[in-house]
Each structure stands twice: as C-alpha cells, then as structure tokens.
Amino acid sequence: MASYYYDTGSTRYRFANLAELMAKASPARSGDELAGLAAHSAAQRVAAQLALAEVPLATFLEDLLIPYEADEVTRLIVDRHDRAAFAPVASMTVGEFRNWLLSPHANEVSLAALAPGLTPEMVAAVSKLMRIQDLVLVARKCRVVTRFRNTLGLKGRLATRLQPNHPTDDPTGIAASMLDGLLYGSGDAVIGINPATDNTTAVVTLLKMLDEIIERYQIPTQSCVLTHVTTAIEAIERGAPTDLVFQSIAGTEAANKGFGINLELLRQGQQAALSLERGTVGDQVMYFETGQGSALSANAHHGIDQQTLEARAHGVAREFSPLLVNTVVGFIGPEYLYDGKQIIRAGLEDHFCGKLLGVPMGCDICYTNHAEADQNDMDMLLTLLGAAGCTYIMGIPGADDIMLNYQTTSFHDALYLREVLDLRPAPEFEQWLSESGIYVHGEGIKVAEQLPPRFRNVIEEARKFALPG
C-alpha cells in the first residue's frame, strides 16, 4: 500500500494511503468531519487534490480501498471491471482523466463505451478535482437511456417521479395528490409511494390501486411502492401487480447489511419483478435510492469518505440494470451535508458519478428543516441539475412531503425547469399529456380551473381501496 505526499513551498503534506488521500481531497462536508476523515486545513485539502491528480487510474484496480476478501461490493466492482473498455484511459492519471473528460474526445459514444471500464473509485477520484461547472459539463455529455413502459433519459428530456405520499396511506388522500400531480404534468419516471408501513397487505393494496389508475387512464408510466425488497418479493408472490422493485442501497457490504440486504437478495428481487413481464417497451425493473452518509450512519464506512462510498453504491446499482436511480441528497441531515452549499455540490457529484458509471441518475433535490438550507438553495441545485441533464427529479404537491417530513421539488418546480431549459417529458408520456389536454410542450399546462371531466371519478375509484376501519 503506497503512501502519498505533496510539497508546497516549505510544507510537505503526507497521506498515509489512498483512502486518506481521497478523504482529504474531498471538498468540505460535515459527514467527513463527523467521521474524522476531513482535511484539517484548506491548504491540506488542495495539496491532497494535487497529489490525487498524479495518481494513475490503474492504481485503483490494485490498491483496493476496502479489501476484496472483506466486502462483496469490492468483489463486484473488481469482478465486473472490463479491461478492454478501460483501455482508452488506462494510461492516464486522475488529473489527465479530468482533462480528457472535458475534451471533445469524451462524447456520448465514447463515454458509453468507457462506462464498464470505470470503477466507482475512479469516478469519485476525478469528481474531487472538479468544479461545479465541470460536474455539469461532463454529466451533460453522458447519455443513459432506460425503458419499462416509456423511454427515460433521452436528450432534452426531464422526467419526474410523482410522489403522492400520505401519512396513513389513505387511498383517497394518495389519489388526491396523484390527480393533482398528473394535472400538473408529473409522473413519467414513476408514480412512487413511500408507504407509512412495511405491512405486506397494505403494500399490495396500494399496488393494486396504482395499477388500476394507470390501466384505466392508459398512462404510459410505471408504479412503485417503495418498500423493502423482501416485502416486494412477498407482494409479488401474493400476485400484486408490481412494476418496479425498490431498495435503498449503500456502498459497502456492511452498510447494505444495515439495510437488511445483500447482492443476492437484490438479484432475487430483480428476478421476481422480471417474471411478471409487465414492461411494454423494456424490462428494466429496478429502482434504487442512495445518499451520501448512509454508510457512516450505519457505522459501516471502513474509514472511506462518504462521497467515494456513494459512488460505490452506484456501482451496486449498475449491476441490476435499473430503470431509475436517485440520490436523496439532503434527506439524511446536516451532520452529513451541513448547508445548501454542501447539498448542491453533493447532488451534482452524485449525478456526475452515476452518469459516468452508466447509471440512469436522478436526484431527490431535498432538505430537512434542521439543515442550513432553503428553497433558494434547492432552486440552484434544480437549475444546475437541469443543465447537467439529470434524468428525473421528484414531484410533490407544494414541495412539502407530509409523510416523510422533508421538502423536495414540487410539480411547479419541474414545470419551471422544463420552461427555462426547454426540457420535455418522456416522449410516450408527453403524448399522453397532450392527448389528455393537460400539457403541451412550449405552451405549458392547459388545464384551467375545472377538473377535466374524465378525471372526475378518480377519488371515488380510490375509495374502494380504503382499508376497513
């Protein structure tokens, strides 16, 4: 295991190993400080970045941050690495790799071909040398297209997850938020509910309700109830109409154990959903959420900085050919990302790393009330992610999630982004919105004061799913 140093004038900065070099090179954030891994000074941080710029990319294939024997995520990363795909950048240092990514040599085609040759640690390393504009520019060049009942990730498109959560999973309450969202043009990525309980019967009821609404109104989208993968498998065994299987994932085996999962369980979830053959234009059936800090909060970080571990979570996601992956960037709290500045940077890093690895990356642009952040910070991250070509964002009534008690982006926020950056919904969904008289690209929302007649019975239809008592 090599050690690293960098000399600036009279000072020699030493870094004991690659993990320390990566951590010290990370732009400042509270989670690394909490873990005792952050740079002790601004100069030490830049010295680490200068030393990291000299590290050959190939080093990351030899000097493993978490040992192969100790962690199944490391084994996945190493075993799946494609040497042939890696060849075009194999002789570069991290600093040279940044230059190459910014150059015209890196384009939609070359980046897609390169993705299987990149490891999470390589993309994390280069992200640490990048400014915000670099993270935007390079991510924008990446194209990751996925399909289930519509086509996501095409150039010039921005999708939204309609998130109609309700604190008690009341079907009429959920239907009311869902209807509001559809009438504001939201829901092409997925209509996804965070249920209040992991109870399988309740989950099956919600899946049936979502299925019936999507079927009745012929909406070209997919549904998901964001429950634990084991609950989803059980629901599928009970015959629930399940489009996507969801799971929160992290970048180490131990942190995943904290989520009650491992790679084999994710494979079982994927197989269960595939067996239903519910996709019409594709069969990408997995939906993952990630977020910096999850490994530290499970005390499973192995002394690795939280941004590198987040990229490793994207490496886990990649294995299962997901339809959707998003970082829940500000959800975990200020002990991991303290303020708007840290949340904005982390959101762009996560999006960049995911896209470079070939993952269909979206972002839950969000914050909690004890973070030093507000709607203005979210507007900045939203606009920047739009410029970076983010695959999808969340859509929730008035930005206020009354179930999870945090703030994410609203239906209105997505319309703002589509308007200022000329971004369209997924093509199949755009056509449905247009035929339904809801939204026309370039003209905006067409629905006036009154509920369109064909949607008048949504609440009544939802009522029959209400649980007795």
Site residues, other proteins (CB under 8 A): 30, 33-34, 164-167, 170, 172-177, 179-180, 183-184, 194, 197, 226, 248, 289, 291, 294, 297, 328, 331-335, 338, 368-370, 374-375, 396-400, 402, 404-405, 407, 410, 412, 415-416, 419, 444-445, 448-451, 459
| Least distance from other proteins to the Cβ atom of residue 168, Å | 9
Cβ proximity to other proteins, 134 vs 170, nearer residue? 170
Q: Yes or no: say if 35 and 72 are a contact pair by the CB < 8 Å rule.
A: no
Parallel, antiparallel, or unpaired: how do β-strands 11-15 and 146-147 relate?
Answer: unpaired
Buried b (16+ CB within 10 A) or exposed e, 89-108: beebbbbbbbebbeeeebee
Cβ proximity to other proteins, 167 vs 239, nearer residue? 167
| Least distance from other proteins to the Cβ atom of residue 171, Å | 9
What span, in angstroms and rounded, lies between the C-alpha atoms of 146 and 144?
7
| Least distance from other proteins to the Cβ atom of residue 333, Å | 5
The Cα angle at residue 246 between residues 241 and 248, in degrees rounded to 5: 165
Q: Yes or no: say if 355 and 144 are a contact pair by the CB < 8 Å rule.
A: yes
Cβ proximity to other proteins, 30 vs 49, nearer residue? 30
Cβ proximity to other proteins, 6 vs 338, nearer residue? 338
Cβ proximity to other proteins, 86 vs 331, nearer residue? 331
Instruction: Kindly list the distances between the CA atom of residue 47 and the CA atoms of 1, 61, 129, 342, in Å, as whole numbers in the listed order.
Output: 20, 23, 11, 20
Q: Element (H or E) spanning 162, and its range?
A: strand 159-162
| Least distance from other proteins to the Cβ atom of residue 335, Å | 5
Q: Which amino acid is at 144?
A: V
Q: Yes or no: say if 252 and 302 are a contact pair by the CB < 8 Å rule.
A: yes
Cβ proximity to other proteins, 217 vs 416, nearer residue? 416
Q: Yes or no: say if 461 and 213 are a contact pair by the CB < 8 Å rule.
A: yes
Q: Yes or no: say if 19 and 65 are a contact pair by the CB < 8 Å rule.
A: yes
| Least distance from other proteins to the Cβ atom of residue 9, Å | 32
| Least distance from other proteins to the Cβ atom of residue 173, Å | 4
| Least distance from other proteins to the Cβ atom of residue 269, Å | 17
Cβ proximity to other proteins, 368 vs 434, nearer residue? 368
Cβ proximity to other proteins, 208 vs 441, nearer residue? 441
Strand arrangement, sheet containing 245-248: 223-225, 190-193, 159-162, 392-395, 361-364, 324-328, 286-290, 245-248
| Least distance from other proteins to the Cβ atom of residue 85, Å | 33
DSSP 178-195: HHHHHHTT--SSEEEE--
